[in-house]
Amino acid sequence: MNRLANLGFVEWQKITFVDSNEEITYQAPILTQKGYDQVNSGKYMNQQKD
């Protein structure tokens, strides 16, 4: 996931909510416009490591 973030396909978004009076915070990967365009293109993305 970090590789996709480094390439600009996803970014990390902090999510916070309250559950049973306890605040929960975590980071979730969110598609950027570049990532969205890649998915919609249907093109295979080379999976070689950087």
Residue 29 has pLDDT above 60, yes or no: yes
- Reported pTM: 0.68
Q: From residue 10, give the alpha-carbon distance in Å to each of 17, 23, 25, 39.
A: 22, 25, 19, 11
How far apart CA 20 and CA 5 sit, in angstroms, is 32
pLDDT the model gives residue 48: 61
Residue 6 has pLDDT above 60, yes or no: yes
Average pLDDT score, the chain: 91
> Residue 21 in contact with residue 45, Cβ under 8 Å?
no
pLDDT the model gives residue 8: 96
Q: What is the mean pLDDT of residues 34-43?
A: 93
Q: Which residue has the higher pLDDT, 10 or 48?
A: 10
With tokens 């996709």, the residue in question is 4
Query: Which residue, 13, 12, 4, is CA-closest to 38?
Result: 4
How far apart CA 17 and CA 44 sit, in angstroms, is 36
